[in-house]
Structure formats: structure tokens, C-alpha cells
Structure 1
Amino acid sequence: MPHPRHPPDTGVHEKVTSTTMFKSIVVFEVEGGSDKYLDGHRRDTMPIINSLTEHGWHAEVVYYRPEWTEDIFDYVTGAFDGYISRVNPGNIPGGERGYFDLLTRLSDAGLVGMSTPEEMMAYGAKDALVKLSSTDLVPTDTHAYYDVETFHATFPTSLSYGERVLKQNRGSTGSGIWRVQLRDKQLAAAIEPGTALPLDTEIKCTEAVDNHTEIRQLGEFMDFCDQYIVGDNGMLVDMRFMPRIVEGEIRILLVGPHPVFVVHKKPAEGEDNFSATLFSGAHYTYDRPEEWQDLIDMFAAARPVIAEKLGGDNIPLIWTADFMLDTAPDGSDTYVLGEINCSCVGFTSELDMGIQQLVAREAIQRIEAAHAG
């Protein structure tokens, strides 16, 4: 079984060229983090490694550290055809910029990136919803805050239209995703939409990570949320709360262009519960794509529009699209896109479905296609 490698700190290795074929894939991880198991890896990392090995390819893990950047670059370009990134952005030492710069350099050197920083930022950034707000996939009143001043000037008015959900760009498993509503239901019913709420207005804030609820003042809560906006790739997406989220979130998991399964994630029962994460007690049901054929067909039809709005159709290796139920004007069910994830989608609970084998085949096919071209 291949073992994780720390890159050697001696020697300069031959750089990969368009005619070099190593039949070798490196899987990037970082040390530590809550997504690691007893062996120091994500639970789905070694199954990917083993599946690649079963296909006759060499595969190994290399840990990323900022101080190892040049040694990693030399080692990887001299021995591998492509990389698979299995790094949770929230766990990257030194922040995303250095790691993304390394991945970009590796792609420029000829490696096939899965997924590249460009794909992660185009598909996985939360403001993808804003770029799609002119389509039928996302409510038109979805917008993003890229600076603290705009957030503080706009959100008190945004909240006057009804319950909102704020989503940070960083984090995972519901961290920094907040359902925000007025504590006083009579005030919520009487407030004139478009009115800027006073900063001392009491609000109920429920975080998706575990459905815990806090009573805070609006101004103080916005000060707290400033942390999500400052720094590299910081932003907050402001989206209408979809009441039918209590019926469950519907996630399509894809490997490349292929829908693998649909997860129906029903939040735990409770007055303000809306989170669909396992950590929050949500119940998951796994279905075949054909059991949600209308949703699959709708998403497939929207793919060209998604590619146009997000800047290209370079599909991530492993990605998900999350939808919520809504009601159309004629009373029929429809679906609203809640987010797309592709930076480091986990599939630990689905290893018995053989997803790791699909990932290995798709990765190999991408590299072989790049060399054939």
C-alpha cells in the first residue's frame, strides 16, 4: 500500500512535459484538522489511493506545508501526471493563497488538476449563487457583500423583507451559515419592507453547523460577521430563507459530469432547525439519480447556463449541487439551488457504493485524454 510522502528536500527533478507519462497521481492533504481519522488521512483518501493502484497507476499522498512549496513543486512535476486536491480550505496552513498558487503552477507545468483553483473558485465559491441569480435556479434577491461597509449599510434593510440566510465563503459543514430572523414576530409582521432596522433590534440567529440559536442585537451580530468578509476570498452571501428546507435539502453528488446518487437530507425536528448536516442530527436518505429524474433533468438542462455564468465548463472531479424545495405560482414543486461544493467534497458515508472507484476511473480518463490531445 502506498504511504504518504513528505517531499524530499534535496535534488532537482525533471519537469513534466506534454510527452511524459508517469501513470502516477499525487493526492494532496494537509496535516491535522477535524476531517482526519486515526491514520492522519481523510477517511476517503486511502480508498481513492487504493482504487488508483488497482487500475495499475501509482498514487501517493503528499502533505502541503507552505515552507515545503518549492520542494513539493520539484518532486511532483518530476514524478506525476496529475493531482487530486483533498484539502479542506479551512485547514490550509497559511491560508488559501499559497496553496492555490502552487496548484496553479503545477497545472502550468503540465499536470492535470483535479480540481484546479479556477474550478474551485468558479463553482465552489458561495457567490456562484449571485452569478446565477438571473436564472431560474436562484432567487433574484440573492446578493453578496465583499466589504464590511456595504454589509453594514445594506443588511438592516435586507432583513426587513423577511428571514434571511447569511453564508460565509470559508468553512464547511454549516460553519458560518446563519439563519437570521427577528425575535419579535409582531414586529416582523408589521415592519415595512425596505425599512432599515435599528441596530438594537433583537434577532434570532441559528447556525447551520449544529442548529444552535443565539439571541443578539442586529448591530452586534453584524460586527461579529465582519470576520467572514475580511481576508483572502472573504465574502458573505445574503439569501432569502426557504421555509421548505424543513422538508429536506436534496444533494446531487457528481463525479465529473456523472450524477452518482441523490441524498435527501432532512433536518432534525425543532422550531428553528434548518441545517442538513450530519453534525446537526439531520437524517440522510440515499437514492439513485433516476428516483429524482425531474431534478436530474432540470440540472442537466441548466448546466450550459451554469457554465456560461460561472466562466467555463471545466467540471470539478468531485462536486455537489444542493437544492431546496420551493412552490411555483401554480402550486407545483420546484427547486432552488442552495450552493455548489467542489473544494473538498467528502463521501465517507458512501464508500460502500464504490464512489472511490468512479473517482479513480474519471481521474485516469482525464489524464489520458490530456496526453492524447
Structure 2
Amino acid sequence: MRNKVIFFEVQGGNDKGEDGYRKDTMPMVNALKERGVEAEVIFYNKAREEEIYNYVSTNGIAYVSRINPGNLKEEECYFNMLRRLCDEGVIGMPHPDAMIGYGSKDVLVKLTSTTLVPDDTYAYYNMNEFKHQFPKSLAYGERVLKQNRGSTGEGIWRVQLVDSLNGEEEAPLDAHIKCTEAKDNHVEFWRLGEFINYCEQYIVGDNGMIVDMRFLPRIKEGEIRLFMLRDKPFYVVHKKPAETEDAFSATLFSGAEYRYDTPEQWSNLVQSFLNQLPEVRTLLGNYDLPLIWTADFILDTNEAGEDEYILGEMNCSCVGFTSQLELAHDVAEEIIAAIKEKTLTVS
């Protein structure tokens, strides 16, 4: 009888505590057990994949993926195993294709038909696309380039022309540009063509791509992260970049300051996002919403001079909440609710 909730982890990585688990995993396991639900952690290992698959497909009613993709070399093998489990009726939290859809940087391009993302946002999957479009994008103002891999701001660049173009519709490849990386807000000066070639490392390889969107100067006022449990906003993180001249990064590693607010303190943003959530879900494949996920927004000003919020990124692969471990009880309730909903739907 399937009755266990399986939490997938992977051994190693800098996100683990002294016991070898992520610090927010065992609180969720224990919260489920307190509610009479069997739960356990299994470490994914490619060499034991069939053994793991057979055990979970026989005993698991649902799985919760708690693996940071950066700590997993066999990501595609892992995703394929999760797909097989979902096909067998195990409830995916999240489904691997939802993980990819909500977690990849090109989620922004998929949502340009909404009011959440400007329509001059592009994704480049090969160098020809990048070389063709990016000089044109840059001619109209500062841009931000985001690689699909990495974390903590690595490979996220604010790019601006040093000299004006005098009305030209495409920046020449010998144009001088100023590039600031979000990892630590350091500045480098390049020729545009040389920088384009440098960025090839972000495009080549599995899941390589670059997203190109306009720079939003009001990032200085802070990035606003909605922490979501399925369709419920639980708290909001206001992440204000450091006060130095070129700083635009909202990561702790770059000196940003974090403040934790209630959803009620950002009611306009929260309600606007929830109103558009059904459309977002449809555009991203109509999978069940991830169990734990985030949406990051930056303030902008529309043509009427009013505030609007622009989506900058979403994440659902392995969102942590180690500074609010009491949320483990809320997560457990959402897991139980999701299982009940699925069970009723199937029956």
C-alpha cells in the first residue's frame, strides 16, 4: 500500500547540516509524522536508481524533491526517474517538468504575453541568436543578461553602453560597454563583440541559455520575493541592494539587506499576482503548482506614472526556508491537502 511521503535529497553539497540533510528537510519529515503521515528521506544515487524507483513506486504516495540542481550531476536521469514515478501515479511535488518550467530563466519569455514581463525580453539558445539580437536590444538601453545555470548572481550581468549611439538601431561590435556582475557587483569594461564571445560559456552545454531583459533602475529600491506554498503566499522578502554606486544585486553574498514582511504589507503585488496565477499556470504547462516556490519582482513605472511590478525570476527546484523552520508545519499541511485533493480527483 502506498502511504509514504518520500523526500529526495542527494548526498554532499554546501546546503547540508551536520547530519547530512538539508536543514529544512527533517523538520518537514517530523511535521508529517506528528500528523500521522509516514515520511522518510531517500538520497538519490544514479547507481541505485532502479532500486529507488521500485521502492518509491511501491510505497510512495507522493515525493517532495529537495535536491539543488547544482549538487546533482545526473540531473536528466533524476528527472526521468521522477517522470516515471508520476506516470505510475506517485504525486510529484513538483512534477519534473513543472520544476523545469517554473525554475528555468526562460520562464520570463514564456510569460511575455502577460503584464508580468515586458515584451522586449528574449532568450538565446545559440550564439547566432545572441549575436543577432543582443546588439539591437542594447541600442535601446541598459540590459540584464542572465545565464540559466549558477546561483548567487554568478553569470548575471548588467550591461550598458559607455558612449551614446547617436540614433543607431544596433550597437557596433567594437562599442565600449560597462558590465557589472550580480555576484559581487564588480565592474568590467569590454568591447561588445568580445563580451558576446565570453558569454558563449553560458549557452553551450546541457540546459545552456541566456535571458536578455531590460535593466530596471528601481531595483535600487529592492527586489520583492513572494514565498509561496502552492497558491498561498506565506511571506515576502524585501531584498535591498547595497548602497554602493554600481550595486544592483539583491543577494546576501553581495551585501544586500533582507527584510521579512507579511503578504498583507504587499497586498497590491500579492493580489495582482494571484489574479494572474491561473494564466501563468496554463502558460507553463498546466501542471500542479509547485509545493514550495518563489516569484521575484522589481518595481517599475508604467506610462501613466504608476507603480507596476515586473517579474524577474521564479524558482521551485529547491527553495529553502532555514531561517523560518516553523513553516515546516504549514508545508506538512499543504502536502496532506495536496494528497487529499489528488485522491478525490482520481476517485
Q: TM-score category by the smaller chain?
A: over 0.9
Range with bigger deviation, 217-226 or 291-300? 217-226
Quote the offset at 1:176 in angstroms. 2.0
**Residue 308, structure 1, aligned to residue 282, structure 2:** yes
Identify which of 26, 39, 52 aligns with 2:32.
52
Deviations 1:313-355 (A, max 9, x none): 521100111110011222221111111111111111222xx22
In 2, Cα distance between equivalents of 1:232 and 1:268: 33
Percent of aligned pairs sharing the same letter: 55
SS of equivalent to 1:368: helix
Identify which of 146, 149, 156 aligns with 1:177.
156
Decide whether aligned partners of structure 1 residues 50 and 213 sit closer, same or farther in structure 2, where only a CA change above 3 A counts: farther
In 1, Cα distance between equivalents of 2:179 and 2:122: 19
**Residue 220, structure 1, aligned to residue 194, structure 2:** yes
Match of 1:112 in 2: 91
**Residue 298, structure 1, aligned to residue 272, structure 2:** yes
TM-score by length of structure 2 reads 0.94
Match of 1:21 in 2: 2
Quote the offset at 1:156 in angstroms. 2.2
Contact 2:10 2:43 in 1 (8 A): yes
RMSD: 1.6
Match of 1:16 in 2: none
Alignment-mate amino acid for residue 132 of structure 1 = L
Range with bigger deviation, 64-73 or 250-259? 64-73
In 2, Cα distance between equivalents of 1:209 and 1:58: 41
**Residue 196, structure 1, aligned to residue 193, structure 2:** no
SS of equivalent to 1:81: strand
Match of 1:88 in 2: 68
Deviations 1:251-274 (A, max 9, x none): 111101111011111011111111
Decide whether aligned partners of structure 1 residues 326 and 348 sit closer, same or farther in structure 2, where only a CA change above 3 A counts: same
Quote the offset at 1:154 in angstroms. 2.1
Match of 1:261 in 2: 235
Range with bigger deviation, 222-231 or 247-256? 222-231
Identify which of 104, 118, 126 aligns with 1:125.
104
Quote the offset at 1:112 in angstroms. 0.6
Contact 2:123 2:210 in 1 (8 A): yes
SS of equivalent to 1:279: helix
Alignment-mate amino acid for residue 22 of structure 2 = R
SS of equivalent to 2:89: coil
Identify which of 312, 330, 334 aligns with 1:362.
334
Identify which of 310, 314, 317 aligns with 1:343.
317
Match of 1:151 in 2: 130
Decide whether aligned partners of structure 1 residues 259 and 193 sit closer, same or farther in structure 2, where only a CA change above 3 A counts: farther
Alignment-mate amino acid for residue 197 of structure 1 = P
In 1, Cα distance between equivalents of 2:287 and 2:86: 17
Structure 1 unaligned segments of length 5 or more: list them.
Answer: 1-19
In 2, Cα distance between equivalents of 1:222 and 1:90: 25
In 2, Cα distance between equivalents of 1:51 and 1:191: 62
Identify which of 196, 207, 212 aligns with 1:233.
207
Aligned length: 345
In 2, Cα distance between equivalents of 1:246 and 1:147: 32
Match of 1:162 in 2: 141
Deviations 1:140-175 (A, max 9, x none): 100100112211222222212111111112222322
Decide whether aligned partners of structure 1 residues 126 and 250 sit closer, same or farther in structure 2, where only a CA change above 3 A counts: same
In 1, Cα distance between equivalents of 2:287 and 2:51: 32
Structure 2 unaligned segments of length 5 or more: list them.
Answer: none
**Residue 37, structure 1, aligned to residue 17, structure 2:** yes
Quote the offset at 1:192 in angstroms. 2.7
Contact 1:26 1:84 in 2 (8 A): yes
In 2, Cα distance between equivalents of 1:253 and 1:346: 10
SS of equivalent to 1:32: coil
Quote the offset at 1:191 in angstroms. 4.2
Decide whether aligned partners of structure 1 residues 115 and 335 sit closer, same or farther in structure 2, where only a CA change above 3 A counts: same
Alignment-mate amino acid for residue 235 of structure 1 = M
Quote the offset at 1:218 in angstroms. 2.3
Contact 1:157 1:197 in 2 (8 A): no
**Residue 74, structure 1, aligned to residue 40, structure 2:** no
